[in-house]
Amino acid sequence: MTPILETAKLRIPRIGLGTWPMKGAEATRAVETALALGYRHVDTAAMYGNEEAVGAGIAGSGVKRDDIFLTTKVWWTELAPDALRASAEASLKRLGTPYVDLLHIHWPAKGMDLPAALVALAKAKEDGLARNVGVCNFPPALLKRALDLGIAPIACLQVECHVYLWQPKLVELCRANDLALTAYSPVAKAAVNDDPVMQRIAAKHGATPVQIAIAWLLARDVVAIPKSAREQGQKENFAAASIALDAEDIAAIDALPKGRRLVNPEFAPDWAA
């Protein structure tokens, strides 16, 4: 059974399938396989260039659309109100669905008109294009500003988060405002496999370091969306939900050096803001 994180604003499966950078037939097969294994959360974005393939995987899975939590995102160049609306509508067409369960602003844009973008995001929800809305890659000050404006009913924040990059200020803001926190790159691009601490904890539980990395996030009430095109990898990722880390395990992972950011494009915001 798919474990669920429930906040006052949102019910979201705790483990989802990340689909970047899969394309075409690979993405379709990955979605079909994941849904057959029991996944009920699929994450994509307009920028990924795979929404049609993801939609085909959902359609071919035999799983009812209403049983799947589907997320997509609007790219940072499309945040003017008309452009955001057009992007959302184009995503729905490519995905072959009348709505997504979560529509995100993918990245903030420097100099963006935040109130206008949030108005457009709220309108997308109001008009049924998205059942919930959220933002990705907002640093603490910008997330607080977006929440304080009270324009869009932001239900989720998606950011890079893993055993080498904990985000305490964002976690605190999310918890204080009943936002779900979704972690992308949740296994630090598999760097955990070479970590002696993660290896030791994995051996203790008869698991893999990747599974331990996911289990650590779940223990902290963070949603994880690991990417895997392989059925075996998907099985292992999904099984992480059954691993119960003890206080000693969590303390050892907490003590790992933090601050290793793996995703930092030139258009990224000032993370320290």
Q: Which secondary-structure segment (H or E) carries 98?
A: none
Question: What is the SS3 assignment for 157?
Answer: strand
Q: How far apart are CA 26 and CA 246, in angstroms?
A: 37
Are the CB atoms for 13 and 41 separated by under 8 Å?
yes
Q: Which secondary-structure segment (H or E) carries 169?
A: helix 168-176
In one-letter notation, the amino acid at residue 246 is: D
- Look up 184 and say whether it is catalytic: no
What single string gives the DSSP state of each residue in 30-63?
A: HHHHHHHHT--EEE--GGGT-HHHHHHHHHHH--
Please measure the distance between the N-terminal and C-terminal CA atoms of the chain and give it in whole angstroms.
39
Nearest of 264, 113, 271 to residue 185 by alpha carbon: 264
Question: What is the SS3 assignment for 49?
Answer: coil
Catalytic residue among 48, 99, 164, 184: 48
Show the tokens assigned to 144.
């607080």
Residues recognised as catalytic: 48
